[in-house]
Amino acid sequence: MGCATTGTLQSGVYRGTQTSYQIGSLGPDWTPVTVNQQNDLAWHNETKDAVMHVDSDCDPGLDIPLTALRSHLMIGFTEREVIDEEVVPMDGREALRTHFTAKLDGVPRDILLQILKKDDCVYDFGLITPAGPSFDQALVDFEGMLAGFTTTVSPQ
C-alpha cells in the first residue's frame, strides 16, 4: 500500500533511484497520494484528516547536524512551538524526533518529524494532523510504519 512519487513500493519495500528501504505496515485507512516529486511516499487518512510522508535524499553534502535538517523541514510553518524533542534509536543509528505545533496557511496543526542520517542518505518521516485528538489516533499508524523501517532490503 502506498504510492511512490520517485520510485516504487511493493510489499513494504521502497525502491528509488538513490536508495531502497523497508517500512512497517500502515493501517487500512491510508490512501496513497502523489506530492509532485516532493516525497518518496505519502498517504492521506480522510477519517483522521492526517497526512504522513517518507522521503530520502542521498547527497554527501547533507552531512549536517540533524537539528539543521529539522529546521529546514519546518520552513513554511508559522507560530511553531516545540512540544518535545529527543534523540531516538532507529535502524542502528540515532534519529532526531521532534513533535511541535504550528500553523500551516493559518490553520493549527500537530506535526511529528523524525530524521535519520545513514550511509550518506537522509531519511525524513512526517505526520501532520489537525490540532487535537486526531494526532494521537494517527500516531499509532505512524509508529507502526517507523517500527518496520530498515535500509537493509533484499535484492529484487
For each successive 10 residues of the chain (156 residues), what is the average pLDDT? Answer: 63 90 92 80 94 91 89 92 97 96 94 95 96 92 96 72
pLDDT of 154: 64
C-beta of residue 99 within 8 angstroms of C-beta of residue 80: no
**82 strand-pairing partners:** 100
Q: Which of 111, 118, 81 is nearest to 97 (CA)?
A: 111
CATH of domain 3-147: 3.40.1000.10
Summarised one tens digit per residue, pLDDT across range 27-62 is 889 999 987 667 899 999 999 999 999 999 998 877
With 0-12 CB in 10 A as exposed, 13-18 as middle and 19+ as buried, what is 14? Answer: buried
pLDDT of 142: 97
**What is the pTM for the complete model shown?**
0.90
